[in-house]
Structures are given as C-alpha cells and as structure tokens.
C-alpha cells in the first residue's frame, strides 16, 4: 500500500448523540479517514479501546459521566493523536495538561476539523 493510500483510524467518544453524528459525518467526508467506532458511553469505549490496537485519532468530549480527562489518561497509550472536543473553551489548558494533541470547541466547523486533522497527519506522531 502506498503511503498516500493510508487510511487513518478514528474513534469518537461523546455522550451527546448529535456531536457524535457531526464528527462521524466529517470523518466520512475525508477519504483518508476510517471510523473505527463511536461511543456514547465512555466506560464502553475504555473497555473496547484498551483491548484493540492503536487508534490514529481519538475525538474525545470533556464533560461526560466519566470525565474525558480520566478517559484520556486511561487511553493515551492507545491513541496517536488525541483531540478534545468540548463546548467549554475554558477547558483548553487542562486538556493540554492531559496530554492532548489538539482541542476543538463545539460547535465544530468542518474547516476547523480539517485543520486539526491536517495538523495530526503532518505531525511526527502519524
């Protein structure tokens, strides 16, 4: 497989179904991306993702019944590029303190999604 044909695996964890819908739609619009799974329940996500292989991109909400920061700590070694997605921009510093690679504020526009995606693909991580 040529490098240009590589598909990057993505997972989405958010307790808001509409946010999952938007992010999965954006993922489907980018040929280089492949959705592994989306999760509304962070505990289910932790169980699934700790058993599987590495994910290239994890899009993770902050405010859920289990804090996105706690989820990030548990999954960080399974994720190459961690992006927090939240409606609370005041969480940005804490997100980077939790080893986030990037941060998106809801509502997420497709152009901002692409900017974060391109930053991840061009980073040395991917």
> Domain containing 24 — which CATH number?
3.40.50.2300
pTM confidence score:
0.92
User: What distance in Å separates the CA atoms of residue 109 and residue 4, rounded to the nearest whole number?
Assistant: 25
All residue ranges of the chain with pLDDT < 70 are: 1-4, 124, 126
Residue 103: give the domain boundaries.
16-121
The SS3 of residue 125 is coil
| 29 lies in some domain | yes
**Amino acid 4: pLDDT:** 54
**Amino acid 124: pLDDT:** 67
Q: What is the pLDDT of residues 34-58, one digit of tens each?
A: 999 999 999 999 999 999 889 999 9
What is the layout of strands, in order, in the sheet containing 8-13?
Answer: 33-39, 8-13, 55-61, 79-86, 102-105
| 9 lies in some domain | no
Which residues are CB-neighbours of 52 under 8 A, at least 6 positions away?
36, 78
Report the domain count for the chain: 1
Which residues are CB-neighbours of 43 under 8 A, at least 6 positions away?
66
| 11 lies in some domain | no
The SS3 of residue 60 is strand
């Amino acid at each position: 497989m040529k490098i240009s044909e590589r598909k990057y695996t993505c997972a989405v964890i958010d307790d808001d179904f509409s946010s999952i819908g938007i992010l999965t739609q954006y993922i489907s619009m980018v040929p280089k991306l492949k959705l592994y799974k989306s999760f509304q329940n962070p505990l289910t996500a932790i169980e699934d993702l700790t058993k599987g292989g590495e994910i290239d991109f994890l899009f993770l909400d902050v405010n859920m019944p289990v804090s996105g920061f706690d989820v990030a700590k548990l999954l960080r070694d399974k994720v190459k590029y961690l992006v927090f997605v939240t409606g609370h921009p005041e969480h940005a510093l804490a997100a980077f303190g939790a080893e986030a690679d990037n941060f998106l504020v809801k509502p997420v526009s497709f152009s901002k999604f692409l900017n974060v995606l391109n930053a991840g693909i061009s980073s040395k991580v991917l």
